[in-house]
Structure 1
Amino acid sequence: MSDGGPKPTSIEHVNLDVLENTLSFYIRTMNIAVSRDLDARLDGLDVARGTGKITTLLLVDSHPGIRPSVIAQIIMKDRSAMGRLIDQMIDHDLLVRQTSARERRAHELFVTAKGAELAAKIRPIVTKQSNDFFSFIVEEEQAQLMDILRRAYRKMVGMK
Protein backbone atom coordinates (compact mmCIF):
# COMPACT_ATOMS: atom_id res chain seq x y z
CA MET A 1 0.00 0.00 0.00
CA SER A 2 1.41 3.37 -1.04
CA ASP A 3 1.70 6.24 1.43
CA GLY A 4 1.47 8.83 -1.35
CA GLY A 5 5.10 9.84 -0.82
CA PRO A 6 7.55 10.72 -3.57
CA LYS A 7 7.96 8.24 -6.40
CA PRO A 8 11.37 6.53 -6.60
CA THR A 9 13.55 8.02 -9.33
CA SER A 10 16.44 5.57 -8.87
CA ILE A 11 16.99 2.14 -7.35
CA GLU A 12 18.50 3.70 -4.23
CA HIS A 13 14.99 4.90 -3.31
CA VAL A 14 13.25 1.54 -3.70
CA ASN A 15 12.25 -0.62 -0.76
CA LEU A 16 12.23 -4.30 -1.76
CA ASP A 17 9.31 -5.03 0.56
CA VAL A 18 9.24 -8.69 1.70
CA LEU A 19 11.69 -9.57 -1.07
CA GLU A 20 14.50 -8.00 0.99
CA ASN A 21 14.55 -11.10 3.19
CA THR A 22 13.70 -13.91 0.77
CA LEU A 23 16.40 -16.20 -0.59
CA SER A 24 14.27 -16.99 -3.62
CA PHE A 25 14.35 -13.36 -4.80
CA TYR A 26 18.15 -13.22 -4.66
CA ILE A 27 18.55 -16.65 -6.26
CA ARG A 28 16.20 -15.76 -9.14
CA THR A 29 17.88 -12.43 -9.83
CA MET A 30 21.37 -13.94 -9.54
CA ASN A 31 20.33 -16.61 -12.04
CA ILE A 32 19.36 -13.91 -14.53
CA ALA A 33 22.61 -11.99 -14.00
CA VAL A 34 24.84 -15.08 -14.20
CA SER A 35 23.02 -16.31 -17.32
CA ARG A 36 23.38 -12.96 -19.08
CA ASP A 37 27.09 -12.80 -18.28
CA LEU A 38 27.70 -16.39 -19.41
CA ASP A 39 25.70 -15.88 -22.61
CA ALA A 40 27.84 -12.85 -23.44
CA ARG A 41 31.01 -14.92 -23.01
CA LEU A 42 29.57 -17.76 -25.14
CA ASP A 43 28.21 -15.46 -27.84
CA GLY A 44 28.26 -17.16 -31.23
CA LEU A 45 28.66 -20.67 -29.81
CA ASP A 46 25.92 -23.29 -30.21
CA VAL A 47 25.38 -23.49 -26.44
CA ALA A 48 24.70 -19.80 -25.83
CA ARG A 49 21.24 -18.65 -24.81
CA GLY A 50 18.78 -20.93 -23.12
CA THR A 51 19.16 -23.31 -20.25
CA GLY A 52 20.41 -26.84 -20.21
CA LYS A 53 22.58 -26.92 -23.33
CA ILE A 54 25.92 -26.52 -21.56
CA THR A 55 25.08 -29.09 -18.90
CA THR A 56 23.72 -31.52 -21.49
CA LEU A 57 26.80 -31.21 -23.69
CA LEU A 58 29.22 -31.62 -20.78
CA LEU A 59 27.33 -34.58 -19.31
CA VAL A 60 27.13 -36.40 -22.64
CA ASP A 61 30.82 -35.69 -23.29
CA SER A 62 31.73 -37.00 -19.81
CA HIS A 63 29.27 -39.93 -19.86
CA PRO A 64 28.95 -41.37 -23.39
CA GLY A 65 25.68 -43.27 -23.71
CA ILE A 66 23.91 -41.33 -20.94
CA ARG A 67 20.14 -41.42 -21.23
CA PRO A 68 18.13 -38.25 -21.84
CA SER A 69 15.96 -39.04 -18.80
CA VAL A 70 19.02 -38.88 -16.53
CA ILE A 71 20.04 -35.50 -17.92
CA ALA A 72 16.45 -34.26 -17.63
CA GLN A 73 16.46 -35.10 -13.93
CA ILE A 74 19.81 -33.34 -13.42
CA ILE A 75 18.75 -30.15 -15.22
CA MET A 76 15.16 -30.34 -13.96
CA LYS A 77 13.46 -30.34 -17.37
CA ASP A 78 10.34 -32.26 -18.30
CA ARG A 79 10.42 -34.91 -21.00
CA SER A 80 9.12 -32.73 -23.83
CA ALA A 81 11.48 -29.84 -23.04
CA MET A 82 14.38 -32.28 -22.86
CA GLY A 83 13.38 -33.75 -26.22
CA ARG A 84 13.34 -30.30 -27.84
CA LEU A 85 16.73 -29.45 -26.35
CA ILE A 86 18.28 -32.70 -27.61
CA ASP A 87 16.70 -32.29 -31.06
CA GLN A 88 18.20 -28.80 -31.28
CA MET A 89 21.63 -30.09 -30.29
CA ILE A 90 21.36 -32.92 -32.83
CA ASP A 91 20.38 -30.38 -35.50
CA HIS A 92 23.54 -28.41 -34.64
CA ASP A 93 25.62 -31.61 -35.00
CA LEU A 94 26.65 -31.61 -31.34
CA LEU A 95 25.00 -34.88 -30.30
CA VAL A 96 23.74 -38.14 -31.77
CA ARG A 97 20.95 -40.25 -30.32
CA GLN A 98 21.11 -44.04 -30.58
CA THR A 99 18.77 -46.81 -29.52
CA SER A 100 20.24 -48.77 -26.63
CA ALA A 101 21.53 -52.21 -27.61
CA ARG A 102 20.49 -53.53 -24.19
CA GLU A 103 17.07 -51.93 -23.91
CA ARG A 104 15.39 -51.30 -27.27
CA ARG A 105 13.01 -48.63 -25.94
CA ALA A 106 15.79 -46.57 -24.37
CA HIS A 107 17.90 -43.94 -26.08
CA GLU A 108 21.51 -43.12 -25.42
CA LEU A 109 23.34 -39.90 -26.25
CA PHE A 110 26.83 -39.42 -27.62
CA VAL A 111 28.79 -36.33 -28.64
CA THR A 112 29.89 -35.78 -32.19
CA ALA A 113 33.42 -34.62 -33.01
CA LYS A 114 32.02 -31.07 -33.21
CA GLY A 115 30.32 -31.54 -29.81
CA ALA A 116 33.51 -32.85 -28.18
CA GLU A 117 35.46 -29.91 -29.58
CA LEU A 118 32.86 -27.46 -28.27
CA ALA A 119 32.80 -29.14 -24.84
CA ALA A 120 36.58 -28.78 -24.60
CA LYS A 121 36.30 -25.13 -25.63
CA ILE A 122 33.56 -24.17 -23.15
CA ARG A 123 34.92 -25.89 -20.02
CA PRO A 124 37.53 -23.17 -19.34
CA ILE A 125 35.07 -20.42 -20.34
CA VAL A 126 32.46 -21.66 -17.85
CA THR A 127 35.03 -22.01 -15.07
CA LYS A 128 36.56 -18.58 -15.70
CA GLN A 129 33.14 -16.93 -15.97
CA SER A 130 32.10 -18.32 -12.58
CA ASN A 131 35.39 -17.26 -10.97
CA ASP A 132 35.25 -13.78 -12.51
CA PHE A 133 31.55 -13.20 -11.84
CA PHE A 134 31.80 -14.05 -8.15
CA SER A 135 35.25 -12.53 -7.55
CA PHE A 136 33.71 -9.96 -5.18
CA ILE A 137 32.98 -12.79 -2.72
CA VAL A 138 36.02 -13.98 -0.76
CA GLU A 139 37.14 -17.57 -1.34
CA GLU A 140 36.06 -18.85 2.05
CA GLU A 141 32.54 -17.45 1.63
CA GLN A 142 32.39 -18.85 -1.92
CA ALA A 143 33.23 -22.29 -0.52
CA GLN A 144 30.48 -21.96 2.10
CA LEU A 145 27.95 -20.78 -0.47
CA MET A 146 28.95 -23.59 -2.87
CA ASP A 147 28.50 -26.14 -0.09
CA ILE A 148 25.02 -24.83 0.77
CA LEU A 149 23.87 -24.62 -2.85
CA ARG A 150 25.36 -28.03 -3.73
CA ARG A 151 23.51 -29.66 -0.80
CA ALA A 152 20.25 -27.93 -1.73
CA TYR A 153 20.60 -28.89 -5.40
CA ARG A 154 21.44 -32.53 -4.65
CA LYS A 155 18.42 -32.80 -2.36
CA MET A 156 16.10 -31.28 -5.00
CA VAL A 157 17.20 -33.63 -7.77
CA GLY A 158 17.49 -36.71 -5.57
CA MET A 159 21.27 -37.15 -5.67
CA LYS A 160 23.13 -38.53 -2.70
Structure 2
Amino acid sequence: MHTRRSKPPTIPQDINIDVLEDTLSFYIRTINIAVSRDLDERLEGLDVAKGTGKITTLLLVDDYPGIRPSVIAHLIMRDRSAMGRLIDQMEDHGLIRREISPEDSRAQELYITEAGTALAVKIREIVPKQSRDFFSFIPEDEQRLVTDILRRAYRRIVGLHE
Protein backbone atom coordinates (compact mmCIF):
# COMPACT_ATOMS: atom_id res chain seq x y z
CA MET A 1 0.00 0.00 0.00
CA HIS A 2 2.63 2.55 1.04
CA THR A 3 5.56 3.14 -1.29
CA ARG A 4 8.87 4.83 -0.59
CA ARG A 5 10.04 7.66 -2.79
CA SER A 6 13.07 7.14 -4.99
CA LYS A 7 16.52 7.76 -3.55
CA PRO A 8 17.30 11.48 -3.27
CA PRO A 9 20.16 12.97 -5.29
CA THR A 10 23.64 12.93 -3.79
CA ILE A 11 23.88 15.97 -1.55
CA PRO A 12 27.07 17.04 0.19
CA GLN A 13 26.61 16.18 3.87
CA ASP A 14 28.27 19.41 5.01
CA ILE A 15 25.86 21.68 3.11
CA ASN A 16 24.47 24.58 5.10
CA ILE A 17 21.13 26.25 4.41
CA ASP A 18 22.26 29.70 5.54
CA VAL A 19 20.03 31.60 8.01
CA LEU A 20 17.38 28.92 7.59
CA GLU A 21 19.59 26.47 9.50
CA ASP A 22 18.33 27.88 12.81
CA THR A 23 14.74 28.83 11.98
CA LEU A 24 11.82 26.79 13.23
CA SER A 25 9.64 28.13 10.40
CA PHE A 26 11.88 26.59 7.72
CA TYR A 27 11.70 23.15 9.30
CA ILE A 28 7.94 23.38 9.85
CA ARG A 29 7.32 24.37 6.22
CA THR A 30 9.55 21.68 4.70
CA ILE A 31 8.37 18.94 7.04
CA ASN A 32 4.79 19.94 6.22
CA ILE A 33 5.48 19.31 2.53
CA ALA A 34 7.00 15.90 3.22
CA VAL A 35 4.25 14.85 5.66
CA SER A 36 1.54 16.01 3.24
CA ARG A 37 3.04 14.02 0.37
CA ASP A 38 3.28 10.90 2.51
CA LEU A 39 -0.27 11.28 3.80
CA ASP A 40 -1.61 11.85 0.28
CA GLU A 41 0.01 8.57 -0.79
CA ARG A 42 -1.75 6.75 2.04
CA LEU A 43 -5.08 8.44 1.30
CA GLU A 44 -4.91 7.81 -2.45
CA GLY A 45 -8.35 7.10 -3.84
CA LEU A 46 -10.16 8.57 -0.83
CA ASP A 47 -12.16 11.79 -1.18
CA VAL A 48 -9.93 13.65 1.27
CA ALA A 49 -6.64 13.08 -0.55
CA LYS A 50 -4.78 15.99 -2.11
CA GLY A 51 -5.14 19.41 -0.59
CA THR A 52 -5.35 20.61 2.95
CA GLY A 53 -8.30 21.19 5.19
CA LYS A 54 -10.53 18.32 4.07
CA ILE A 55 -9.58 15.94 6.88
CA THR A 56 -10.00 18.58 9.57
CA THR A 57 -13.29 19.69 8.06
CA LEU A 58 -14.60 16.13 7.86
CA LEU A 59 -13.66 15.37 11.47
CA LEU A 60 -15.05 18.66 12.81
CA VAL A 61 -18.36 18.20 10.99
CA ASP A 62 -18.54 14.63 12.31
CA ASP A 63 -17.75 15.72 15.88
CA TYR A 64 -19.84 18.91 15.88
CA PRO A 65 -23.05 18.46 13.86
CA GLY A 66 -24.32 21.86 12.74
CA ILE A 67 -20.89 23.54 12.92
CA ARG A 68 -20.69 26.66 10.79
CA PRO A 69 -18.22 26.95 7.91
CA SER A 70 -16.83 30.17 9.41
CA VAL A 71 -15.73 28.29 12.54
CA ILE A 72 -13.97 25.62 10.51
CA ALA A 73 -12.40 28.27 8.25
CA HIS A 74 -10.93 29.98 11.29
CA LEU A 75 -9.57 26.72 12.73
CA ILE A 76 -7.96 25.63 9.45
CA MET A 77 -6.88 29.17 8.60
CA ARG A 78 -8.76 29.45 5.30
CA ASP A 79 -10.48 32.48 3.85
CA ARG A 80 -14.19 32.47 3.05
CA SER A 81 -13.81 31.67 -0.67
CA ALA A 82 -11.32 28.82 -0.09
CA MET A 83 -13.64 27.38 2.57
CA GLY A 84 -16.59 27.64 0.17
CA ARG A 85 -14.69 25.69 -2.50
CA LEU A 86 -13.64 23.04 0.02
CA ILE A 87 -17.24 22.59 1.23
CA ASP A 88 -18.54 22.48 -2.36
CA GLN A 89 -16.03 19.73 -3.15
CA MET A 90 -16.92 17.70 -0.06
CA GLU A 91 -20.63 18.15 -0.70
CA ASP A 92 -20.17 17.05 -4.33
CA HIS A 93 -18.48 13.89 -3.03
CA GLY A 94 -21.42 13.23 -0.72
CA LEU A 95 -19.41 13.61 2.51
CA ILE A 96 -21.24 16.54 4.09
CA ARG A 97 -24.45 18.47 3.57
CA ARG A 98 -25.39 22.07 4.24
CA GLU A 99 -28.50 23.36 5.90
CA ILE A 100 -29.70 26.88 6.57
CA SER A 101 -29.45 27.70 10.26
CA PRO A 102 -32.86 27.90 11.96
CA GLU A 103 -31.49 30.74 14.16
CA ASP A 104 -30.03 32.82 11.32
CA SER A 105 -31.23 32.38 7.75
CA ARG A 106 -27.97 33.92 6.48
CA ALA A 107 -25.86 31.22 8.11
CA GLN A 108 -25.16 27.67 7.01
CA GLU A 109 -24.69 24.64 9.21
CA LEU A 110 -22.78 21.54 8.16
CA TYR A 111 -23.74 17.94 8.79
CA ILE A 112 -22.00 14.67 8.02
CA THR A 113 -23.53 12.13 5.64
CA GLU A 114 -23.36 8.35 5.95
CA ALA A 115 -20.49 8.30 3.46
CA GLY A 116 -18.77 11.04 5.45
CA THR A 117 -19.13 9.10 8.68
CA ALA A 118 -17.68 5.97 7.06
CA LEU A 119 -14.75 7.97 5.68
CA ALA A 120 -14.16 9.62 9.08
CA VAL A 121 -13.80 6.14 10.61
CA LYS A 122 -11.12 5.25 8.03
CA ILE A 123 -9.36 8.59 8.51
CA ARG A 124 -9.20 8.10 12.28
CA GLU A 125 -7.28 4.86 11.64
CA ILE A 126 -5.00 6.08 8.83
CA VAL A 127 -3.88 9.49 10.13
CA PRO A 128 -2.46 8.51 13.55
CA LYS A 129 -0.71 5.48 12.00
CA GLN A 130 0.76 7.62 9.22
CA SER A 131 2.08 10.10 11.78
CA ARG A 132 3.62 7.34 13.91
CA ASP A 133 5.19 5.66 10.87
CA PHE A 134 6.45 8.89 9.29
CA PHE A 135 8.15 10.02 12.50
CA SER A 136 9.21 6.56 13.69
CA PHE A 137 12.87 7.68 13.76
CA ILE A 138 12.02 10.11 16.59
CA PRO A 139 11.47 8.55 20.04
CA GLU A 140 7.84 8.67 21.22
CA ASP A 141 8.60 10.89 24.21
CA GLU A 142 10.22 13.46 21.92
CA GLN A 143 7.27 13.22 19.52
CA ARG A 144 4.91 13.95 22.42
CA LEU A 145 7.04 16.96 23.44
CA VAL A 146 7.09 18.42 19.92
CA THR A 147 3.36 17.75 19.54
CA ASP A 148 2.69 19.52 22.83
CA ILE A 149 4.72 22.56 21.78
CA LEU A 150 3.08 22.76 18.35
CA ARG A 151 -0.40 22.20 19.86
CA ARG A 152 0.15 25.15 22.23
CA ALA A 153 1.35 27.33 19.34
CA TYR A 154 -1.62 26.34 17.16
CA ARG A 155 -4.16 26.91 19.94
CA ARG A 156 -2.72 30.36 20.66
CA ILE A 157 -2.71 31.31 16.96
CA VAL A 158 -6.36 30.34 16.49
CA GLY A 159 -7.46 31.72 19.86
CA LEU A 160 -8.29 28.51 21.73
CA HIS A 161 -7.68 28.14 25.46
CA GLU A 162 -4.75 25.97 26.48
TM > 0.5 fold call:
yes
- Correspondence for 1:145: 146
- Correspondence for 2:132: 131
- 1:155 and 1:10 map into 2 onto residues whose CA distance is 38
One-letter amino acid of the counterpart of residue 152, structure 1: A
- Correspondence for 1:3: none
- 1:58 and 1:10 map into 2 onto residues whose CA distance is 40
Which segments of structure 1 move beyond 4 Å, counting only runs of 4 or more? none
RMSD, aligned CA: 1.0
- 2:22 and 2:152 map into 1 onto residues whose CA distance is 21
1:15 Cα deviation after fit: 1.7
- Correspondence for 1:20: 21
- 1:125 and 1:19 map into 2 onto residues whose CA distance is 32
Single out whichever of 115-124 and 13-22 deviates more from structure 2.
13-22
- 2:12 and 2:75 map into 1 onto residues whose CA distance is 36
Structure 1: runs of 5+ lacking an equivalent: 1-8
Is structure 2 residue 116 aligned with structure 1 residue 115? yes
Identity, % of aligned pairs?
69
C-alpha spacing 1:56/1:11, structure 2 compared with 1 (3 Å): farther
- 1:145 and 1:117 map into 2 onto residues whose CA distance is 31
Superposed CA deviations along residues 12-46 of structure 1, whole A, max 9, x for unmatched, are 25321111111011000000010001000000000
- 2:11 and 2:123 map into 1 onto residues whose CA distance is 37
- Correspondence for 1:76: 77
1:10 Cα deviation after fit: 2.2
One-letter amino acid of the counterpart of residue 12, structure 1: Q
1:102 Cα deviation after fit: 1.4
- Correspondence for 2:155: 154
1:11 Cα deviation after fit: 4.3
- Correspondence for 1:103: 104
- 1:68 and 1:45 map into 2 onto residues whose CA distance is 22
One-letter amino acid of the counterpart of residue 58, structure 2: L
Q: Helix, strand or coil: the match of 1:93? A: coil
C-alpha spacing 1:107/1:20, structure 2 compared with 1 (3 Å): same
Structure 2: runs of 5+ lacking an equivalent: 1-9
- Correspondence for 1:49: 50
Is structure 2 residue 113 aligned with structure 1 residue 92? no
Q: Helix, strand or coil: the match of 2:52? A: coil
1:90 Cα deviation after fit: 0.5
